[in-house]
Amino acid sequence: MQQTTGIQAHAAVERPLHSFQTDDPRLRPIADKVLAGERLSGDDALALYASHDILAVGWLANHVRERMHGHKTFFNVNRHINHTNVCVAYCRLCAFGRKKDAPGAYTMALEQAFETAASGYSEAVTEFHIVGGLHPDLTWQYYLDLIAGLKQRFPQVHLKAFTMVEIAFLAKRAKLSIRDTLVALKEAGVDSLPGGGAEIFNERVRHIICDHKIDGSQWLETARIAHELGLKSNATMLYGHIENDEDRVDHLIKLRTLQDETGGFQTFIPLAFHPDNTPLSHLPWTTGFTDIKQIAVSRLVLDNFAHVKAYWQMLTPKIAQISLRFGADDLDGTVIEEKIYHDAGAETPQGMRRQDLMRLITEAGREPVERDTLYRPVTRTETTFTVAV
């Protein structure tokens, strides 16, 4: 049965005069589906990955992106807070987590976390993105106090806190169900959840890259419960390590299936693997071709996700900018102090100013829209902002 896509046309963008062209015959039936607004199958997704006609794949993704958002391109003014890098999971994909007594290990006292939250920027932030390691000793109360303390000090700032992996870990520490853990965190002030920790759902791959994390079905189940409780989240996929195209397609389709059920995902963020300083450092970095194709395939397969983000920190600002013509409609934000991918060798700046993000967007011929975490437009003066609700 043919299924039409869940998110329908948005903006009036004048359609380009040129029509779809390809030298890859596998893409023709896929183009017919995309132009008719029909859902792509797993086999279609595999054909997209297999194609070297990046311009044709990108044309299709751009068509969908413009159908949904016109030229609008979203970004936010946010600050990352990584309260600890101490972690008991020892994922092979990771250069950030440390043993408690290892060089470079740190854990912020609550006051330190509040000071960090207030520092490093001159324009009011609309979001704190809060993720950290799975610390063996931090108490459940620490997390509640961290969130409540941030909410009390910065009531206007949206708290996007704790990956599904952290939620499952906290539930164990609190001796609560996942649902009750999320309820307590929501009551303390968590407004939504980031999308990290999904990596690749396939168990063979997960066993090698992050065998101490919750498995793929637990990640999805935690997201489902969060969505049921009214907490929106994002979703990620870490690509460019030992996974194959089938693993990527399986990952995307599992996310799409859950999104059909809950509608709770806001944004999909493909994350390029950074191998430096990880136990997988023998693997090569992703290439621009792979990065751009991943953005495009994500946009085409995830027809029920409103947004696909080109996370400039991982892709580099240059590739992220190009991605705005290959399916992406969001660049993430100012970030201010990125630690996780810089420990893994990222050479991008640790933060970017609002005007630099806007320049990347306008030079790509797009219309910059500052958003809050829930994609409501933000208007601002130098030190204050208003969210259109």
Binding residues for ligand SF4 (CB under 6 A): 87, 89-91, 94, 96-97, 133-134, 165, 210, 213
Give min distance, CB of 76 to ligand SF4, in A: 23
Amino acid at residue number 291: D
- Read off the tokens for 290: 């792979």
**Residue whose CB is less far from ligand SF4, 63 or 213:** 213
Considering beta carbons, is residue 93 or 147 the nearer one to ligand SF4?
Answer: 93
Compute the distance between CA of residue 200 and CA of residue 189 in angstroms, rounded to an integer. 29
Residue 335 Cβ, how far from ligand SF4 at the closest point, in Å?
A: 17
**Bridging pattern class, strands 378-380 and 385-387:** antiparallel
User: 162 vs 326, which CB is nearer to ligand SF4?
Assistant: 162
Q: Which is nearer to ligand SF4, 87 or 198 (CB)?
A: 87
Closer residue to ligand SF4 (CB): 46 or 89:
89
Exposed/middle/buried for 363, CB within 10 Å: 0-12, 13-18, 19+? exposed
Least spacing, CB of residue 194 vs ligand SF4, in Å: 12
Single out the residue of 106, 169, 105 nearest to residue 143, CA to CA. 169
CB of 273 to ligand SF4, least distance (A): 12
Indicate the residue among 5 and 236 with the shorter CB distance to ligand SF4.
236
Which residues lie below 8 Å from residue 82, measured CB to CB, with a gap of 6+? 96, 130, 131, 132, 339, 340
Nearer to ligand SF4, 73 or 181 (CB): 181
The span from the CA of 33 to the CA of 292, in Å, is 21
Sequential DSSP letters for 332-343: EE--S---HHHH
Query: How far apart are CB 204 and ligand SF4 at their closest, in Å?
Result: 18
Query: E-strand spans in the chain?
Result: 72-76, 78-81, 127-130, 158-161, 192-193, 232-239, 265-272, 307-308, 330-333, 367-370, 378-380, 385-387
Taking the least distance from each CB to ligand SF4, the nearer of 75 and 273 is 273
241, 280 Cβ separation under 8 angstroms: yes
Buried b (16+ CB within 10 A) or exposed e, 51-66: beeeebbbbbbbbbbb
CB within 8 Å of 117: residues ≥ 6 apart: 79, 81, 128, 150, 153, 154, 157
Minimal distance, residue 152 CB to ligand SF4, in Å: 27
CB of 272 to ligand SF4, least distance (A): 15
CB of 271 to ligand SF4, least distance (A): 11
Instruction: Give dist(CA 372, CA 124) in Å, integer.
Output: 12
DSSP-derived letter for residue 367 is: E
